[in-house]
Amino acid sequence: MVATPPLLPGPEPSYRFLPGGEPYSSGVVATPGWEVVHVTLQAPVPWRDGFAAIERHLRGLDRPRTALCAIELRIPTPLTFAGFAEFNRGYRALLGEWGLLVDGRNPVARTNVAPVVGPPPEPSLYAFSHTVAAEATGRPTFVAAGSGELRPGPASRANVVRPDETSPDAMREKAAYVMGVMQARLTGLRATWADVTAVDVYTVHPLESFLATEVLAAMGPAAIHGVHWYLSHPPIAGLAYEMDLRGVRREVRLPAAGDA
């Protein structure tokens, strides 16, 4: 039996994180007395401008930068493995400037995908999550970072599940693998499917051959909420399927710049 990784303290006491890689953590969960709030922008903005928007939002809540715990990005097209690594260096550097890294570890969860229709002209912020003082008691709130069908180890084609295959059978296997990752992240966050409020799927390939058996059936009580399908590519060319999930009590939508 594989041991569950320990949850580590975030940059402030309001959340803990499940260790991941350099670009992002595997997930975050609020500590007692706090909750995670999910915020979606009505219109994406270039990601560096997006961090300025996050800071304004947090300032309005009297919360520090370190309350930021998860990011969702949209990019124009999938990147090569090398291009993905290059983008992550700049992204991680900004997190460091914000004082978010903890002993060199990145605590911020992330999803990063390329929409098929209406992609942004440059990498852009689509949504984010942050912590606030909890308004009510209840199960802990959390975000599990996005994952594609890339096995642990070096980020390369060799570790992709069924590389270059998108048949129904291959997609079923990819989806099953990613569901296993989501289950592991839920377990690591000390949460269950009953705590999940939203599941997002990112793929350009049909879902009907495996959605009921490999995804909804595995979601147990969360299946009643269905899934939100984004017609999008994972961030790395050669990957075909990605998922993320969260369990929150509050969903907020920020108006587009200039809206009342």
The answer as to whether 147 is a domain residue is yes
The answer as to whether 183 is a domain residue is yes
The answer as to whether 256 is a domain residue is no
**Residue of 133, 142, 54, 60 whose CA lies nearest to 100:** 54
Domain range holding 81? 8-250
The answer as to whether 146 is a domain residue is yes
The answer as to whether 171 is a domain residue is yes
**Residue of 143, 69, 58 whose CA lies nearest to 108:** 69
Q: Tell me the pTM.
A: 0.95
Domain count, the chain: 1
pLDDT in tens, the chain (260 residues): 456 778 999 999 999 999 998 889 999 999 999 999 999 999 999 999 999 999 999 999 999 999 999 999 999 999 999 999 999 999 999 999 999 999 999 999 999 999 999 999 999 999 999 999 998 888 899 999 999 999 988 888 899 999 999 999 999 999 999 999 999 999 999 999 999 999 999 999 999 999 999 999 999 999 999 999 999 999 999 999 999 999 999 999 998 765 54
Ordered strands of the 15-18 beta sheet: 8-9, 15-18, 27-30, 142-148, 242-247, 198-202, 228-230
Asked whether 193 and 222 are in contact (CB, 8 A), the reply is yes
**Residue of 207, 243, 202, 227 whose CA lies nearest to 116:** 202
Amino acid, res. 103: D
Distance CA 133, CA 146 (A): 25
Q: Percent helix, strand, coil in the chain (nearest 5)?
A: 30, 30, 40
The answer as to whether 260 is a domain residue is no
CATH number, domain containing residue 153: 3.30.1330.40
The alpha-carbon radius of gyration of the chain (Å, integer) is: 17
